[in-house]
Amino acid sequence: GNSVTQMEGPVTLSEEAFLTINCTYTATGYPSLFWYVQYPGEGLQLLLKATKADDKGSNKGFEATYRKETTSFHLEKGSVQVSDSAVYFCALSDYSGGSNYKLTFGKGTLLTVNP
């Protein structure tokens, strides 16, 4: 079956530090890959996505590249801000049989950015 593995948190950084959150996946088909972010007390928001190999998703200074050869979709940001403190979920969407297109989430990584 499909699965997503992302680095265990929590991750604590100082403002303006470089961020990497690792994400690898296992899928039977040709999945689309996503990063969702959940700020405290809120629902999830799509941060970025990539739908095929070598695609790069980017938004708000965050980037991730769909690497089929390493089955990875690592999230990076060059200079984090306090406002980036949140939980980040890597996810994949794939066809799982019948009429089922399922979004599978990783366990989430809590990022805290200190001033």
Partner 1 sequence: DTEVTQTPKHLVMGMTNKKSLKCEQHMGHRAMYWYKQKAKKPPELMFVYSYEKLSINESVPSRFSPECPNSSLLNLHLHALQPEDSALYLCASSRLFGTTNEKLFFGSGTQLSVL
Q: Which residues bind partner 1 (CB under 8 A)?
A: 29-32, 34, 36, 41-46, 49, 51, 89, 93-95, 99-103, 105-108, 110
CA distance 44 to 48: 12
SS3 content of the chain, % helix, strand, coil (to 5): 5, 55, 45
- Give the DSSP H/E element, type plus range, for residue 3: strand 3-6
Between 7 and 17, CB nearer to partner 1: 7
Between 70 and 100, CB nearer to partner 1: 100
* Closest CB 1 distance from partner 1, rounded Å: 14
Between 99 and 115, CB nearer to partner 1: 99
CA distance 19 to 22: 10
Which residue bears the tokens 């965050």?
A: 62
Answer for the pair 3, 104: CB distance below 8 angstroms, yes or no: yes
* Closest CB 54 distance from partner 1, rounded Å: 15
Between 38 and 72, CB nearer to partner 1: 38
